[in-house]
Amino acid sequence: MIVFATCAAEPALQESDRVLAAALGARGFAVAAAPWNGPQDAFVAADAVVIRSTWDYQKTPDAFADWLARLEGRPNVFNPPAMMRANMSKRYLLDLAGKGAPLPPTMAVEPDPDAIAAAMDALGLAEAVVKPEFGATASGLSVVRREDAAGLAAAAAKMAMPGLVQALVPEITTAGETSFIFAGRAFTHAVTKRPKSGDIRCQADHGGAAALADPPDWAVAEAHRLLAMVSGDPLYARIDAVTLDGEMRLMEVELIEPELFFTYSPDAAARLAGALLERLN
């Protein structure tokens, strides 16, 4: 039995993961869903554990990190728990920037309006995105202007923890954000997500829309280069970036519980199923 880890808030398989489960079923492997923050019997008995829709972990990051640590000594946990723990804090982006990843100007910051203002001054930003260290689906994210003291205070309160100040990439509202999905380190497909009018959040939860994309070769090569900066051996990965005019701006490297958009590309689900079974064998 292969167990897909979900969460107590949404314990069932997500639509995209049902496509992956069907691809595994076609190869003779049964799949069950179990919330990471629920009874642990299914995980104990599993032949493999695949972290999929643990979409509430950012609310209790310490508990989730402890849960991953308990899985670390077991074989057949994907992605590797140590890799996922390193990916939990968005500060990993600063490490990638140090390796040459093309981030928008970014700085770590405490949840304090004066600290946010100082970071914006240091980066030379009149407008910025502020996001908490632990977050998913744009939770805790704010767009702020340097001269708006009330907005800075509201953003600090919304963060509720240390996080990042990052230059706003306005092209995300026009070009959108492209997600490059990988099975192992092999590119499988891409999806471009666009926010609704007046927003920068691309997630469907916030009214964003997605469509299958056909990125140029240079963009796929750059996504490969960025993934190569990550140590370890991921079973799956998603590189989120804004790409335009021959340049890429990295937004996220998702290694824990990314939506993999298999409803847009069932063949890609089959490739990930094959990659998983290769590792189990």
pTM above 0.75, yes or no: yes
Distance CA 273, CA 271 (A): 5
* Alpha carbons 183 and 172: distance in angstroms, whole number: 26
Which letter, b or e, does each residue of 33-50 get, where b requires 16 or more Cβ atoms within 10 Å of its Cβ? bbbbbeeeebbeebebbb
* pLDDT > 70: percent of the chain: 93
Strand extents, DSSP E, the chain:
2-6, 31-35, 48-51, 77-78, 106-109, 127-132, 142-145, 163-167, 177-183, 186-194, 209-213, 236-244, 247-254
Query: Is residue 6 within 8 Å of 36, Cβ to Cβ?
Result: yes
DSSP string, 104-156: PSEEEE-S-HHHHHHHHHHHT-SEEEEEESS-STTTT-EEEETT-HHHHHHHH
pLDDT at 127 over 60: yes
- Single-letter amino acid code for the residue at 129: V
pLDDT per position as a tens digit, 70-117: 999 888 999 999 999 999 999 999 999 999 999 999 999 999 999 999
Q: Which amino acid is at 42?
A: A
Give the residue from 213, 214, 193, 215 showing the smallest Cα distance to 204. Answer: 193
What mean pLDDT is predicted for residues 150-160?
93
pLDDT tens-digit readout, 96-106? 999 999 999 99
pLDDT digits (tens, 9 = 90+) for 203-252: 656 455 689 999 999 999 999 999 999 989 999 999 999 987 788 999 99
Q: Report residue 229 CA to chain centroid gap.
A: 16
Half-sphere exposure at residue 129, Cβ-oriented, CA atoms within 13 angstroms: 21
DSSP letter at 198 equals: T
Average the pLDDT over 135-143 and give the result. Answer: 76
Phi, psi (rounded to 5 degrees) for 96: -65, -35
Q: Which amino acid is at 133?
A: E
The predicted pLDDT at position 198 comes to 52
Three-state DSSP at 84 gives helix
CA-closest candidate to residue 21, choices 48, 58, 54, 56: 48
| 148, amino acid identity | D
Mean pLDDT rounded to a whole number for the chain = 92
